[in-house]
């Protein structure tokens, strides 16, 4: 006879845990015009990525004290802003060129999945977690980012208005970065744009921030993990992008998709976008239990993980052709 075990509902964990690698290595984040340029363009991309990917793997081994690090690779395809061809045509081409360079893509993601994954409004959920950092000395005169769709890393220049009678015109003041070092690098990021019909288009930097949160294993909606990998059952790929899962596991033996740290090897045209990503991550309130899960797991493995979410993200920017 077995003894029954009773637990209170409140004692059950409310935030789903996800398996974690040491490093999520992104081998590319290309748009449809990159694919439209043909196989040679992809070939040049992967040829430039290969040595930096090898360096990222070596660095991950150092961070794990020489132990074999768990490393998964991923590739992000833009099917949100533009649609070109089909998965049936492009995915085999992508995988063939990666293999030619000696690289394997473990996980394939669609950028539209960073906006809406299935029935989950992922981007909207992350937007609801934005917590703006008030610049020193500010008095809340500017509307919040949730209203304007703009997020800054400091204090904007004041709007110069025509002076009232008997009053002097306001003197122009430069913008100020909140955490500047001697001189400011001020950035104002557009998070989304709304069409007259009310249709919202999320910006590339905002979707890239969602992508990073997913790769770090920190993306949750109502405690449930979002963008979980779906296995590729083999065979071909669908003709329609909407028929492809938002996140596809191509390698059944791959290490976990999410990781303690991320590294992206991308063309240098992404540098301003990724600067914006850091601004967004620095002002996003991440699920505290998800953060706690990562902290406990990394402590158990004696792996150092930065407290700042943005500091868990790294890049290699290579010069384009």
Q: What is the pLDDT of residues 48-75, one digit of tens each?
A: 999 999 999 999 999 888 789 999 999 9
Q: What is the pLDDT of residues 33-45, one digit of tens each?
A: 888 888 999 999 9
What average pLDDT score do residues 11-23 get? 84
Task: Report the pLDDT averaged over residues 287-299.
Answer: 96
The answer as to whether 29 is a domain residue is: yes
SS3 of residue 69 by DSSP: coil
With respect to residue 202, please indicate whether it lies within any of the assigned structural domains. no
pLDDT of residue 159: 66
pLDDT at residue 138 tops 80: no
Residue 303 lies in a domain: yes
- Asked whether residue 294 is domain-assigned, the answer is yes
What mean pLDDT do residues 283-308 have?
A: 95
Greater confidence (191 vs 182) lies with 191
Q: Which long-range contacts (CB under 8 A, 24 or more apart) does 113-120 make?
A: 113/227, 113/245, 113/246, 113/247, 114/80, 114/202, 114/207, 114/208, 114/210, 114/211, 114/214, 114/227, 114/246, 115/80, 115/202, 115/207, 115/210, 117/226, 117/227, 117/246, 117/247, 118/246, 120/221, 120/226
Domain that holds residue 84: 17-119+211-267+288-318
Which range has the worst mean pLDDT, 163-177, 209-223, 248-262, 299-313?
163-177
Number of residues written out for the chain: 321
Model confidence at 13, in pLDDT bands (50, 70, 90)?
low
* Cα 72 to Cα 256: distance, rounded to the nearest angstrom: 6
Is residue 78 situated within a structural domain?
yes
How many structural domains are present in the chain?
A: 1
Does the residue 148 lie in any domain?
no
pTM for the structure as a whole: 0.90
Between 285 and 162, the more confident residue is 285
Average pLDDT for the chain: 89
> Is the model more confident about 188 or about 174?
188
Structural domain includes residue 100: yes
- Cα–Cα distance for residue pair 187/79, rounded to 1 Å: 27
Average pLDDT over residues 92-121: 96
- Counting Cα atoms < 13 Å in the Cβ hemisphere of 128 gives 10
More confidently predicted of 172 and 240: 240
Q: Is the pLDDT of residue 4 over 70?
A: no
Assess if residue 262 is contained within a domain. Answer: yes
Question: How many angstroms separate the CA atoms of 30 and 75, rounded?
Answer: 8
pLDDT over 90 for what percent of the chain? Answer: 69
């Amino acid at each position: 006879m077995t003894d029954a075990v009773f637990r209170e509902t409140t004692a059950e964990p409310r935030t789903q845990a996800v398996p974690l690698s040491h490093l999520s290595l992104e081998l590319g984040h290309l748009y449809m015009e990159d694919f439209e340029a043909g196989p040679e363009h992809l070939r040049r991309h992967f040829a430039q990525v290969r040595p930096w990917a090898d360096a990222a793997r070596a660095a991950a081994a150092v961070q794990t004290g020489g132990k074999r690090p768990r490393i998964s690779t991923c590739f992000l395809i833009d099917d949100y802003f533009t649609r070109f061809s089909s998965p049936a045509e492009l995915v085999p081409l992508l995988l063939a060129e990666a293999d030619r360079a000696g690289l394997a893509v473990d996980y394939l993601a669609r950028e539209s999945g960073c906006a809406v994954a299935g029935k989950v409004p992922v981007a909207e959920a992350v937007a609801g977690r934005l917590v703006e950092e008030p610049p020193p000395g500010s008095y809340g005169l500017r509307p919040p980012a949730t209203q304007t769709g703009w997020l800054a890393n400091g204090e904007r220049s004041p709007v110069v208005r025509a002076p009232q009678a008997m009053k002097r015109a306001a003197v122009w003041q430069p913008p100020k970065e909140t955490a500047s070092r001697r001189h400011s690098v001020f950035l104002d990021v557009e998070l989304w744009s709304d069409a007259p019909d009310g249709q919202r288009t999320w910006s590339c930097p905002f979707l890239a921030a969602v992508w990073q949160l997913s790769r770090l294993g920190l993306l949750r909606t109502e405690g449930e993990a979002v963008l979980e990998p779906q296995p590729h059952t083999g065979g071909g790929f669908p003709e329609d992008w909407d028929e492809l899962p938002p996140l596809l596991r191509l390698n059944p033996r791959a290490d976990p998709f999410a990781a303690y740290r991320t590294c992206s090897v991308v063309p240098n045209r992404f540098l301003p976008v990724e600067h914006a990503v850091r601004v967004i991550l620095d002002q996003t309130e991440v699920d505290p239990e998800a953060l706690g899960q990562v902290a406990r797991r990394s402590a158990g493995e004696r792996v150092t993980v930065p407290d700042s979410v943005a500091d868990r993200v790294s890049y290699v920017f290579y010069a384009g052709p």
